[in-house]
Amino acid sequence: MERRDKRGRRIGWNWWREYNCNLLLDAALVWEAECEAVAVGYETEIAEYAEANPRPNLKDFLIRNKGMAQIAM
């Protein structure tokens, strides 16, 4: 049985967190595929690629999407 609040929403599930984590996962998979295609597994080339194209991080997604939480409410 799921826990619910007064409005019937599931407690513990956060759409905002899910949305941003899914975006991060998708972006990380794309970054890794592009890195692998360019670097062909060599550590020095991976480092060069990462320097030129930084790996996506959660902070950037949260900053870019910060206004969406108020729009959806």
Mean pLDDT over each residue of the chain, to the nearest integer: 86
Give the pLDDT confidence of 33-56 residue by residue, as tens digits: 999 999 887 899 999 999 999 999
Give percent of the chain above pLDDT 90: 47
Could you tell me the residue ranges of all domains in the chain? 15-72
What is the 3-class SS of 24-72, one letter each residue? HHHHHHHHHHHHHHHHCCCHHHHHHHHHHCCCCCHHHHHHHCCCHHHHH
Q: Who wins on pLDDT, 68 or 12? A: 12
Residue 6 DSSP code: T
